[in-house]
Amino acid sequence: MPKQIIIAEQHRIAAVFSEDQIQELIVATGSHQVGDIYLGVVENVLPGIDAAFVNIGDAERNGFIHVTDLGPLRLKRAAGSITELLAPQQKVLVQVMKEPTGNKGPRLTGNISLPGRYLVLMPFGRGVNLSRRIRNENERNRLRALAVLIKPAGMGLLVRTEAEGVAEEAIIEDLEALQKQWENIQQEAVTTRPPSLLNRDDDFIQRVLRDVYSADVNRIVVDSHTGMKRVKQHLVTWSGGRTPQGVLVDHHRDRASILEYFRVNAAIREALKPRVDLPSGGYIIIERTEALTVIDVNSGSFTRSATARETVLWTNSEAAVEIARQLRLRNIAGVIIVDFIDMDSRRDQLQVLEQFNKALRADKARPQIAQLSELGLVELTRKRQGQNIYELFGRTCPTCGGLGHLVHLPGESERQLQEFVEPTREYAVPESRTPQLRENWDGQKDEFDADPSQDLQELDLTNHPSYQERGGANNRRRRRSRIRVGEPVARVGSSVRAESDAEPELPITEETVLPTLIPKENRSEKPDRSRSSNRRDKPAAEPPQVIQVEMTLEEQDVYALMGVSPLVLATEEVKDPKSAVVTVTLPGESSRVNNGAAITTIFSPDAFMQSEVEEAPPSHSDFSVDDEADLGSASLESEPTLEMTVPEVSTDAVDGNGSSRRRRRRSSAVESDNATNVVGDS
């Protein structure tokens, strides 16, 4: 049947299609590839396993070579141990026969082989061998006689399947090119300092055509114009200087990537999934483990046949063909166990095995069916050729560590499990609604800039302080904390809990600074704050309006994250949003707040609008303590009534004419309770 070859030279990936279905992937990525020839250095020799580790330039992993793969190094047949053949710091010429997997380094061999189009040159080999796929006896005799005549002395030759029916001149040219390549490798091995790479198939197009191209290929698509020219050049060379007939070489010119246009990436995504659906409604499950690969066959929704026997036979036959394709596509190697649907008839079992064996013949990795066990399991092995699709395109899940499931132990709440999974989630936010951080004039990123003209219909932001008109630069005031020497200041941590049995209070930020209570006898007289000024006294400012808003903890977090003022939830009319003081309480705690038994979070628009505010130190007149109260023996048996007056904040600023002005501001506790700091016995 006709085939197509899609070559993405930029990504070094090629795909072979047959009947609009991908059959095989060729990927040339990684630091160590099959066929690379290195000049290495023996690091250590392990006589216990008859092996040695060779340094080939990888800082993390060394290459592994067994005593049976030493090749020309094993010339002493009388040697009984690998320690007599290799020694540490010895230079060795090795070739990669298996790419690294997991924590294992690459598998090395001393039997060097140089593949060509029609021949494989083995510099340390012996004799002449022919491919098993050449079945014509006359052709086998012709190729064997030719190989014996042209074989270099002291070397071995392997005649490939592609040499069938090819003229002698083309085969001789291929051999001459391989001999020249081997001479270059020997020269570099003498002049190069180990460890170093001596030879690699850098021409990806030549490698793909050499391994995949055959007479049944009718189309080749390349992702570059220069690549298309090289394809034509290779085909003409291999055809004896003539343009091959029936092959269309095309250059991919579409805007979409060649891998996306021909759905190669989609096929890779599907191949990474364990389930593969069959045309009749059945499906197979492919599970890879460290020791082997297990494939299970299920009938699924297939109900076309009249009897159960026909259903099982049809499903197993389809599964046999699909499993052979998946082994090539995923490049699964090693031990493979296939669990077909149980068949009672011995004739049906042999028919499925024959169908399976026929589908495996096109695989160059030479899979071998071992046996059909008594449990109905089919055992087979497949030679490893490069990395499989899981190692090339798969990554271990950082959440489960490759287990495929999350561990939920007894005693762990669902919330802990969700918090464990939450960091792996990503949320797409529309660009037009994403606020951007803006640096304020003091260099801190504390506000969000958003376009107020968008989505104003969805949310009423009439009372939002951030959308009010801002004043000029002269209205900005600086905040300085003045602490009198000798007076202690109590800083509140991230959270404060009352000593009573009242409801838990809302957290108070670290920036909140509360003065400690000073006994009446230790207080000094209030200092004279009068200053000589030529300006006229301004009328006293009206007390700010106190707005009480009930919000849950989740609502407080959301509004704080979005930068939205709680004023939008106010039920009463707000006269001046810029000077209003918002008291946020939990639902149902309004009465406690009015009695002064709970600490609430206070939001003042001036705190958001002004970057810094100058604060005056507290004085003895700001606090009033009952002389009969016993501060040291405050009992927890009953809730004490705590009323605190936050000291007045005096802010001095200089207007544009140079004259100073003073503003007074009281906290929400003063305006709502109108009381002094009194601690009484219950």
Q: What ranges do the domains of the chain cover?
A: 3-28+204-264, 273-392, 395-426, 463-679
What does the DSSP 8-state code read for residue 598?
S
Residue 307 corresponds to which amino acid?
Answer: T
The distance from CA 478 to its chain's CA centroid, rounded to whole angstroms, is: 46
Cβ-based neighbours of 113, under 8 Å, separated by 6 or more: 95, 120, 121, 122, 125, 158
619 or 122, higher pLDDT: 122
Q: What is the mean pLDDT of residues 498-522?
A: 45
Which of 17-31, 37-51, 410-424, 610-624 shows the lowest mean pLDDT across its residues? 610-624
- Token pair for 11: 């990504």
Distance from C-alpha of 555 to C-alpha of 559, rounded to nearest angstrom: 6
Higher-pLDDT residue of 538, 358: 358
Strand order in the sheet with 368-372: 275-277, 283-288, 293-298, 334-339, 377-382, 368-372
Is pLDDT at 156 greater than 50 in this prediction?
yes
Q: Does the structure show a pLDDT above 70 at 51?
A: yes
Give 326-376 pLDDT, tens digit per residue.
Answer: 999 999 999 999 999 988 888 989 999 999 999 998 888 889 998 888 888
Note the pLDDT of residue 420: 52
If 0-12 CB within 10 Å is exposed, 13-18 middle and 19+ buried, where does residue 70 land?
Answer: buried
Dihedral (Cα; 612, 616, 617, 621), 10-degree rounding: -140
> Is the pLDDT score of 90 beyond 60?
yes
- pLDDT class for 512, splitting at 50, 70, 90? very low
pLDDT of residue 58: 83
Please tell me the predicted confidence (pLDDT) of residue 123. 92
When the pLDDT of each residue in the chain is averaged and rounded to a whole number, the result is: 73
Higher per-residue pLDDT: 67 or 512: 67
Q: List Cβ neighbours of 78 (8 Å cut-off, separation of 6 or more).
A: none
**Mean pLDDT score, 539-567:** 79
**Rounded Cα–Cα distance for residues 18 and 136 (Å):** 26
Query: 3-class DSSP state for residue 83?
Result: helix
For residue 78, the model assigns a pLDDT of 52
- Answer yes or no: CATH 3.40.630 is held by domain 273-392: yes
Give the model's pLDDT for residue 220.
Answer: 93
Say if pTM beats, i.e. exceeds, 0.75: no
Most confident residue range from 508-522, 555-569, 579-593, 623-637 = 555-569
- Of residues 588 and 98, more confidently modeled: 98
Mean per-residue pLDDT for 150-165? 91
Q: Is the pLDDT confidence value at 603 over 60?
A: no
Q: How many CB atoms lie within 10 A of CB 618?
A: 22
Confidence of residue 79 (pLDDT cuts 50, 70, 90): low
Up-side HSE of residue 404: CA atoms within 13 Å toward CB?
A: 5
Q: What is the distance, to the nearest Å, from the Cα of residue 285 to the centroid of all Cα atoms in its chain?
A: 25
The answer to whether residue 106 scores a pLDDT higher than 60 is: yes
Quick one: CA torsion of 368, 370, 373, 377, rounded to 10 degrees?
-20
pLDDT the model gives residue 644: 43
Amino acid, res. 289: T
- Residue 482: per-residue pLDDT: 44
- Confidence band, pLDDT 50/70/90 cuts, at residue 319: very high
| Cα R_g (the chain), whole angstroms | 42
CB 165 within 8 A of CB 137: no
Whether the per-residue pLDDT at 483 is higher than 50: the answer is: no
Give the integer Cα–Cα distance in Å for 345 and 343: 6
pLDDT score, position 41:
92
Positive or negative, the CA dihedral 676, 641, 512, 516 is positive
Q: Is the pLDDT assigned to residue 120 strictly greater than 90? A: yes
pLDDT confidence bin for 50, thresholds 50/70/90: confident
pLDDT of residue 591: 52
How remote is the C-alpha of 487 from its chain's centroid? Answer: 55
Whether the upstream peptide bond of residue 195 has omega within 30° of 0, thus cis, is: yes
Q: What would the mean pLDDT of 9-13 be, rounded to a whole number?
A: 90
Say if residue 533's pLDDT is above 60: no
For residue 117, give the nearest of 169, 184, 152, 69 by alpha carbon. Answer: 169
Phi, psi dihedrals of residue 543, rounded to the nearest 5°? -65, 145
Q: Which of 116-120, 491-495, 609-613, 620-624 tops mean pLDDT?
A: 116-120
Instruction: Report pLDDT for 564.
Output: 79
Q: Output the DSSP codes for 76-104.
A: -TT--SGGGT--TT-EEEEEEEE--BTTB
- Band (pLDDT 50/70/90 cuts) for residue 508 is very low
Query: What is the C-alpha separation between 287 and 342, in angstroms, rounded?
Result: 19
- Which pLDDT value is given to residue 658? 43
Instruction: Specify the residue for token string 């037009």.
Output: 432
Share of the chain above pLDDT 70, in %: 66
Q: Which of 43-47, 166-170, 391-395 has the lowest mean pLDDT?
A: 391-395
Distance CA 361, CA 343 (A): 24
Compute CA distances 496 → 73, 599, 680, whole Å: 77, 9, 21
Checking if the pLDDT of 478 tops 70, the result is no
Name the residue with higher pLDDT: 319 or 431. 319
Alpha helices in 409-476 (DSSP H): 414-421
Burial class (CB in 10 A: 0-12, 13-18, 19+), 614: middle
Closest Cα partner for 54 from 183, 62, 304?
Answer: 62
| Secondary structure (3-state) at 260 | helix
Quickly tell me which residue has 């000077």 as its tokens. 579
pLDDT > 90: what percent of the chain? Answer: 25
Pure H helices in 374-512: 389-393, 414-421
Element of type H or E holding 286? strand 283-288
* Cα angle: 103, vertex 109, 115; to 5 degrees: 115
pLDDT bin (cut points 50, 70, 90) of residue 481 is very low
Does residue 78 or residue 158 have the better pLDDT? 158
* 198-203, Cβ contacts within 8 angstroms, sequence gap of 24 or more: 198/37, 198/38, 198/39, 198/93, 199/36, 199/37, 200/33, 200/35, 200/36, 200/37, 201/28, 201/33, 201/35, 203/230
Name the least confident of 257-261, 358-362, 448-452, 635-639.
Answer: 635-639
